[in-house]
Amino acid sequence: KQEVTQIPAALSVPEGENLVLNCSFTDSAIYNLQWFRQDPGKGLTSLLLIQSSQREQTSGRLNASLDKSSGRSTLYIAASQPGDSATYLCAVNSNYQLIWGAGTKLIIKP
């Protein structure tokens, strides 16, 4: 059974720092992996999708990597800003269903 873990559960860093969020999964047989952002009391916004054949995807200050063999993905955020404060969730497409991590709550201090 696929399991997805995100560590740490919470992270607080000063504005301007580069940071890495981690996502690990137990079964490497995946179709893709998706990173989402969730603001308090709001829905989910898709940030990046990495297909199983890809190693990384970039969008602006965000870069997501995928290493299927080790069961890991990272989300790199460059030059963090207070507006990046949110909960970040990763979801693995396994057997045509999304299996979710519990998220990392990120706080960027001005």
Contacts of 81 (CB under 8 A, 6+ apart): 15, 108
Q: Is 45 exposed, middle or buried (0-12, 13-18, 19+ CB in 10 A)?
A: exposed
Is the Cβ of residue 14 or residue 96 nearer to other proteins in the bound state?
96
C-beta of residue 48 within 8 angstroms of C-beta of residue 42:
no
Closest distance of CB 16 from other proteins, Å? 29
3-state secondary structure of 74: strand
Closest distance of CB 34 from other proteins, Å? 6
C-beta of residue 34 within 8 angstroms of C-beta of residue 25:
no
Closest distance of CB 41 from other proteins, Å? 8
Is the Cβ of residue 80 or residue 104 nearer to other proteins in the bound state?
104
Enumerate binding residues for other proteins (CB under 8 A): 4, 31-32, 34, 36, 42-46, 49, 51-53, 89, 91, 93, 96-103
Is the Cβ of residue 13 or residue 98 nearer to other proteins in the bound state?
98
CA distance 105 to 27: 25
Is the Cβ of residue 31 or residue 109 nearer to other proteins in the bound state?
31
